Structure 1
Amino acid sequence: MPEIYNEAMKRNEEFTGECTDLSDQGYGVLRHNGEVVFVPGLLPQEKARIRVILAKKSFAIGRVMERLSDSPERTQALCPEFGKCGGCALQDLEYQSQLAWKTDWMRRKFPGIEVRDTLGMKDPYNYRNKAQFPVQVTGEGEVITGFYRPNSHTIVDTDTCLIQDERLNELYQYIRKELTSRLAKGLRHIFLRRSRKTGQSQVVFIGEENHFEDLTAKLVSVFPDLVSVVFNHNDRQDNVILGDESVILHGLESIEEDCLGIRIRLNFKSFFQVNPEMMEVLYNTAMEAADIHPGDSVIDMYSGTGTLGLLAARRGAQVTGVEIVPEAVENARENARLNGINNAQFVCQDATEFARQFQDQADVLIVDPPRKGLSEQGVEDIARIDPRRIVYVSCNPNTLKRDLERFAHKGWKARWVQPVDMFPQTPNVEAVCLLEKE
């Protein structure tokens, strides 16, 4: 769709304004001549001189030229790359204020529904158990690794990340130091994962050519907790990170995790929540909402590696997990065996297709979809199953709102929404929602 530039606001135009809110991307929100302007790095109650850097029909993007006042909730960002990479947009806002803003934002988004206070962390740093670092080699042979700038493929060259697990930072720094231009040629990403509970770590080199045997030997000698090193071949000409073929360079292609006493064998291709501490909070909340009784029939849609389904099975339910990624389904079956759970089965099928074909009775339906949420057909098919309650775990409040409206048309009412701060220092928020028939 061609860009239509706003006649009322021009690129490079400057004005002075006051920020009144934050957007769902963590940008300051201002109004100028009746038009909305989004400005990174500006907090509510702050005045600033703004320059318009992009003007579109319905909004503009601005840049702070001079901040004229500071919010009482502003704090000094700890990361030297803050504002450059596309990560921690809220690191300059005090953490308790981040939680308060997320609660207020969710309450405005879900009027008429009980929205509980956002559950947060005691220490909102070094929480991520997974990292993906893109790699580039310049024409001069310099190796650059780090994170992308917002809305670009330009890498911010950095050797650490304050929201990554500290051991992942150590692994990354060692690999970064060892990466010559020869090794980095054709290397697209460095993928790292770690379980704080089991202490196991994993490295996956993603690229076009496998020449990482020597580096693997060095890594294993320095990091005894490294139980998995994998080369994943990807020469596709698109933005898909992982390819289809892999070679194990050391150990296994998985590590072991633990969630609320459930042991999880985690393939590097399988989705797993990146904040293990708040994952347990999120999943405990989901189990509270599910209110499972022994013998209940539970469907776990978008079941991933099976964690939620296995938690439900441990409470005595008969569980069917549904997931379209074959590696994740095999992971889930393996995890059931690993935990001695016999009352959970996992099928490899599209969730909407499964719901459409399902003919039996279900007491509880748990759904944890990707960011795009459910399709309209998916909502209709889930409503047709007619469980006693639906537990919706959402990573995108915008699609959750849309889907709750669709469920309302089918006679389902959202009883409460519990926001959970899975991603401190960022504007993202996850939530658990309980739905029951009216």
Structure 2
Amino acid sequence: MTTKDSQFAKGDILTVTIDALATGGKALTRLEGMVIFMDKGIPGQTVEIKITKKKKRFAEAVLTKVISDAPDQITPRCSHFGVCGGCQWQNMEYSKQLEWKKRFVSDSLNRIAGAQDIKINDPIPSPETFFYRNKMEFAFGDKRGDKTVGLRRYGTHNVVDLHECYMQSERTMEMVNLVRDFVNAIPALTSYDANARRGYLRFLVIRETKHTNQCMVQIITGKDTTNGDQQHRAIRKLGHILQEQMNVTTFIHSLRTHTTQVAYGEKTIAVLGQKSLTEVLNFENGMPSLSLTSHADGFFQVNTDATARLYGTAIELAELTGTEKVWDLYCGVGGIALAAARNAADVFGMEITPQAIESANENATINNIDNVRFVSGDVRGALDNEPSKPDVVFVDPPRSGMNPEVIELIMERSPKRIIYVSCDPATQARDIALLSSQYTVTTVQPVDLFPQTAHIENIVRLDLTD
């Protein structure tokens, strides 16, 4: 075994103590003047690692064994923890999780945006730290001939056959167990093999509402290769069973032929029950509740009550008076736009997905809001064709952040205020660096939607520089 006093190389096994966590959740230690990034672990643990890559100034490694626990480590709730890739931090107190997430935000703004001496507010915690998710995507697998249903094994494409999970609801695991028993009773239903690129069962997606008692189950499969559509007919039977035994309000059978392992159906084969779900966001700051409808592939934040805190805080930071023209870029099903509309003169929302815009318009009708206008299409193209000049702009882009051309188009209109919501502090900081020629960061407010993981939502308010 290589010791700390010697040089090390790719393939070496080292014993180290974890010093800190890096943005995104990787653990790190410093050795021989280099930083070693590990795939997992928490500060204070002494661990055995294997070096997988060595560069001039840093190295990468995988954690192979925990030798001794961290002094403040706690016992994880789930027996699958450390094997399943769903949670990273169940062995860390929630207060410590929030401390590290705040540090991630601070590090990104300082290192990438060059924003020094900016106060980072303490993260707004999630109302619940377990059973908080409203959506889970499970994969089908195979283990010695038995079909499995679960999440990916940490760092691999293999499926951990889950028999407990504390991220969604207890009813979720009842449905997972029912689906597992059903598919194992029918030999014609085979699990998809990503390496061989064959097999039928691909994904099980379960979505639940927090406040309206609705549930959508989506089974995503490959093509039926049997005589008489035996596989498709079996899935339809499964849908009826889930409706009868688990009170599922929507069952969708979707087809995916692309080999990329993404839980997205390219074609709908069958729909039983309602075509969409309607959730209610209950705000804590006196704002009226908001009803939001979304379809099977529509984006909706996975933590309902924490989302109400996220959107409510974004609206508060905007300081709307009722006279402003507002833009909501990457508006999804219209959550922020509709919440803002009640305190603005008019709102213009943009989103690339036509189905999301369909839901956004439906949501405007449901909530009796008539001072909003939604457009589907690429944000760059939509902005090129939009003559209005906004006073306030909300942006909530995907993890990759905004395109530089979109940032230029925003700055050309010079809104007084930008409220930037992001699920990735690093790409957010990159975009803020581009905006800094005209805008000053005045508020940074993290909001935690993802307990037990390293992910954090962050809101930054930027004001037009005088």
TM over 0.5, shorter chain: yes
With over 3 angstroms needed to count, the CA separation of the structure-2 counterparts of 1:207 and 1:31, relative to structure 1, is same
With over 3 angstroms needed to count, the CA separation of the structure-2 counterparts of 1:184 and 1:317, relative to structure 1, is farther
Q: 2:329, 2:393 within 8 Å by CA — same for their partners in 1? A: yes
Give distance in 2, aligned partners of 1:244 and 1:64: 39
Q: What is residue 233 of structure 1 aligned with on the other side?
A: 255
Does 2:220 correspond to 1:202?
A: no
Does 2:301 correspond to 1:273?
A: yes
With over 3 angstroms needed to count, the CA separation of the structure-2 counterparts of 1:175 and 1:427, relative to structure 1, is same
How far did residue 356 of structure 1 move? Answer: 3.1
Q: What is residue 107 of structure 1 aligned with on the other side?
A: 106
Alignment partner of 1:179: what SS? helix
Q: What is residue 170 of structure 1 aligned with on the other side?
A: 174
Does 2:330 correspond to 1:324?
A: no
Q: What is residue 54 of structure 2 aligned with on the other side?
A: 56
How far did residue 303 of structure 1 move? Answer: 0.6
Give distance in 1, aligned partners of 2:63 and 2:242: 43
How far did residue 14 of structure 1 move? Answer: 3.3
Q: What is residue 189 of structure 2 aligned with on the other side?
A: 183
Q: What is residue 430 of structure 1 aligned with on the other side?
A: 457
Q: What is residue 239 of structure 2 aligned with on the other side?
A: 216
Q: Which segment is superposed worse, 356-365 or 412-421?
A: 356-365
Q: 1:144, 1:155 within 8 Å by CA — same for their partners in 2? A: yes
Does 2:92 correspond to 1:80?
A: no
Q: What is residue 3 of structure 1 aligned with on the other side?
A: none
TM-score (norm 2): 0.87
AA matched with 1:222: Q
With over 3 angstroms needed to count, the CA separation of the structure-2 counterparts of 1:137 and 1:50, relative to structure 1, is closer
Give distance in 1, aligned partners of 2:390 and 2:49: 56
How far did residue 39 of structure 1 move? Answer: 3.0
With over 3 angstroms needed to count, the CA separation of the structure-2 counterparts of 1:96 and 1:52, relative to structure 1, is same
Taking only the aligned residue pairs, the percentage that are identical comes to 31
Deviations 1:98-156 (A, max 9, x none): 11121233223323322100111353001000011111245x53101111123321111
Q: Which segment is superposed worse, 81-90 or 109-118?
A: 109-118
Q: 2:27, 2:40 within 8 Å by CA — same for their partners in 1? A: yes
Q: 1:53, 1:63 within 8 Å by CA — same for their partners in 2? A: no
How far did residue 15 of structure 1 move? Answer: 3.3
AA matched with 1:42: G
Give distance in 2, aligned partners of 1:427 and 1:11: 27
Gaps of 5+ in 2: 1-5, 110-115, 192-199, 225-231, 283-288
Q: CA RMSD in A?
A: 1.9
Q: 1:297, 1:318 within 8 Å by CA — same for their partners in 2? A: yes
AA matched with 2:298: S
AA matched with 1:54: T
Number of positions where the alignment pairs a residue of Structure 1 with one of Structure 2: 427
With over 3 angstroms needed to count, the CA separation of the structure-2 counterparts of 1:53 and 1:216, relative to structure 1, is same
Give distance in 2, aligned partners of 1:348 and 1:436: 28
Q: Where do residues 202-351 of structure 1 align in structure 2 (5 Å cutoff)? A: 202-208=216-222, 209=224, 210-211=232-233, 212-224=235-247, 226-260=248-282, 261-351=289-379
Q: Which segment is superposed worse, 256-265 or 198-207?
A: 256-265
Q: What is residue 88 of structure 2 aligned with on the other side?
A: 89
Q: 1:37, 1:62 within 8 Å by CA — same for their partners in 2? A: no
Q: 1:294, 1:317 within 8 Å by CA — same for their partners in 2? A: yes
AA matched with 1:55: K
Give distance in 2, aligned partners of 1:169 and 1:415: 44
Q: 2:139, 2:203 within 8 Å by CA — same for their partners in 1? A: yes
Does 2:117 correspond to 1:119?
A: no
Give distance in 2, aligned partners of 1:338 and 1:361: 28
How far did residue 306 of structure 1 move? Answer: 0.6
